[in-house]
C-alpha cells in the first residue's frame, strides 16, 4: 500500500497517469465531506459518473495492485501523460472536484481515502438503520 505521503505524485507521475478508486455516489460524497472536514492531506480530483451513480477518486498509479476495500473498485487507467489533466481520464464522466481546486497535480492519498470511505460506509449504515 502506498505511504501516507503518497498524495504527492510519485516520481515519473504525469497528468493522465493514475489509478481510480470508484465507489457509489452516496458513499463518495460522504467521503469527500469527511476528507474536507477532517484531514490536512490534500484531496485530488474526483470524477462523477452520473449514469452509473459513482464517484472516482484519482489516486497514485500502483494503488490498484493492493486495493481491497469491499464495496469499491480500484482500476488502472491507460493514460500515458499525453492528455492534460484538465480533461477527465474516463469518457462519459465529469469533474465533481476538478484539477486545480486543491493543490495542482495532486492525487488523493489512498491510505487517507480508505479511512474516509470506511467512515462514510459506517455513517450511511447507521443512518439507514436508524430510519
Domain assignment of residue 49, yes or no: yes
Task: Tell me the per-residue pLDDT of 43-66, one tens digit each, with 9 for 90 and over.
Answer: 889 999 988 999 999 999 999 999
Task: Tell me the per-residue pLDDT of 21-49, one tens digit each, with 9 for 90 and over.
Answer: 999 999 999 999 999 998 777 788 999 99
Share of the chain above pLDDT 70, in %: 75
Total residues found in the chain within this entry: 131
73-76 and 54-59 beta bridge pairing: unpaired
Q: Residue 77 gets which letter from DSSP?
A: -
Per the structure, how many domains does the chain have?
1
What is the residue range of 124's domain? 19-129
pLDDT at 106 over 90: no
pTM value? 0.79
Domain assignment of residue 14, yes or no: no
6 three-state secondary structure: coil
Domain assignment of residue 104, yes or no: yes
**Which residues are within 8 A (CB) of 113 and not within 5 positions of it... i.e. 6 or more apart?**
21, 31, 35, 57, 59
Domain assignment of residue 57, yes or no: yes
**Beta pairing partners, 95:** 47
- Given a contact cutoff of 8 angstroms between Cβ atoms, the answer to whether 113 and 64 are in contact is no
Amino acid at each position: 500500500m502506498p505511504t501516507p505521503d503518497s498524495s504527492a505524485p510519485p516520481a515519473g507521475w504525469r497528468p493522465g497517469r493514475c489509478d481510480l478508486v470508484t465507489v457509489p455516489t452516496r458513499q463518495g460524497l460522504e467521503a469527500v465531506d469527511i476528507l474536507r472536514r477532517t484531514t490536512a492531506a490534500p484531496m485530488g480530483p474526483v470524477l462523477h459518473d452520473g449514469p452509473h451513480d459513482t464517484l472516482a477518486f484519482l489516486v497514485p498509479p500502483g494503488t490498484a495492485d493492493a486495493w481491497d476495500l469491499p464495496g469499491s473498485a480500484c482500476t488502472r487507467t491507460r493514460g500515458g501523460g499525453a492528455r492534460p489533466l484538465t480533461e477527465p481520464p474516463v469518457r462519459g464522466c465529469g469533474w465533481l472536484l476538478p484539477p486545480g481546486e486543491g493543490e495542482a497535480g495532486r492525487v488523493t492519498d489512498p491510505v487517507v481515502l480508505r479511512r474516509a470511505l470506511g467512515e462514510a460506509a459506517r455513517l450511511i449504515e447507521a443512518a439507514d438503520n436508524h430510519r
